[in-house]
Amino acid sequence: MRPAHAVLAVFGVLGSTPAGAVSLLVEGTASKQVTSLSVMGELELIKDRTFLTGCVGSTRTEPLAITTGADPETVSLPRSTQLCLGLDHGFNDHWRVSLMASASPRVTSQLQVLARPSVVYRSQTGSAGGQLGVSYESAGLLDDVQWGLDFGIAGTGYDLSHQWISAFRTVRYPAMLASLRPSAGVVLMLGDTELQLRGSYTAWSKDPLTAGVLTVEEVQGALKQVLPDATLLGKLLALNLDFSSFLQFAGTRLMAMDAISGLATAPVRFELRPAVQRRFTSWLRGQVGYTYDLYVPGAGHAHVASTRWTVSVGDHFQTWVAAAAQWDVPADVPPALYGILTLGVEVSF
């Protein structure tokens, strides 16, 4: 999941509008794989200086098809939710500091592995984290050339626990994962044209592709404890191990996906995003950009080409549409092309 980048995006969008007592932003994103809806609000505590920001969102993922084994089936994944709360303060016309805390409540998913005797595989995932951001703007009101820099550091902890449940006993397998994500960005404003470049690197406490994932050894060991009949082990080994790997981040990807950043289909290690934005009139802005995501070793990479168009009506209302084509190149399966569409609206009071 990439929540730290979503936090920077929140401040970038809300901070670009005229100061008001309250700003409310609603954004929805859809692709064939995922749909999400987020609501973000900003309350001005000290005029033009201090802002309180909060957000809530929900993401729904398409059912997961388990095709291995004798009995293929489709598993529905529950809706994920994420909450955030932050404070943004400007010390002067140049320096700003932001703090943000976020949490994704635990999501429970389960798969009926055997009916008689009953054996259930249950996965419980959740996350919590925080971010610190510092930005500088040249703030030359009469200059044709302006620039800005921002730096951020975000840390997130993931609970990837799961358990095997039978009528005889329950075997629990706790698993934790942590990430640290430094990021930096630069903006150069040349009149009505804005050049942007952002990059980030994510360090993981352990390999996120294996943390909390089922292994053959675990299946054998767990089922010897929950089943009295060891002859059933062979059937259970047909369980698609991708199910547990997918669920690791099912509850932690909210607000990390939109048509600008793309859809991260695996844990990200490095991201680079150049973009160009131009104001054509007082009410129309357009942006084109490219995002390169390098996933953790063994997971491949992705390319995202995107565009976003924003229409402003007065000083208190704006709406936008963004679209992207993502070419995902996994390491061990054929590449796939995704289309992503985002619609948003913001109102300031």
* 346: nearest Cα among 14, 76, 9, 59: 14
Give me 18's structure tokens.
């005229």
Q: What is the CATH number of the domain that holds 12?
A: 2.40.160.40
136 pLDDT more than 70? yes
**Under 8 Å between Cβ of 102 and 57:** no
Percent of the chain with pLDDT over 70: 80
What pLDDT is stored for residue 13 in this prediction?
40
117 pLDDT more than 90? no
DSSP string over 22-91: EEEEEEEEE-SSEEEEEEEEEEEEETTTEEEEEEEEEEEEPPEEE-SSSS-EEEPPPPEEEEEEEEEEES
The CA distance from 222 to 164, in Å, is 7
CA distances from 52 to 58, 86, 99 (A): 21, 6, 10
Q: What is the pLDDT of residues 60-92, one digit of tens each?
A: 888 777 655 556 667 777 788 889 999 999 999
Least confident residue range of 153-162, 199-208, 209-218: 209-218
What pLDDT is stored for residue 284 in this prediction?
97
- The answer, yes or no, to whether the previous bond of 228 is cis (omega within 30 of 0) is no
What pLDDT is stored for residue 7 in this prediction?
39
Name the average pLDDT for the chain.
Answer: 83
Does 139 or 158 have the greater pLDDT score? 158
Average pLDDT over residues 309-321: 94
- 116 band by pLDDT with thresholds 50, 70 and 90: confident
Does 209 or 197 have the greater pLDDT score? 197
Judged by phi (left if over 0) then psi (alpha if -120 to 50, else beta), residue 302 lies in beta
What pLDDT is stored for residue 68 in this prediction?
54
What pLDDT is stored for residue 270 in this prediction?
94
The CA distance from 225 to 230, in Å, is 9
- How many structural domains compose the chain? 1
Judged by phi (left if over 0) then psi (alpha if -120 to 50, else beta), residue 311 lies in beta
Q: What is the pLDDT of residues 258-300, one digit of tens each?
A: 889 888 888 899 999 999 999 999 999 999 999 999 999 988 9
Strands (E) located in 138-281 = 145-159, 162-166, 170-173, 176-190, 193-201, 203-204, 268-279
56 lies in which domain range? 3-348
What pLDDT is stored for residue 278 in this prediction?
96
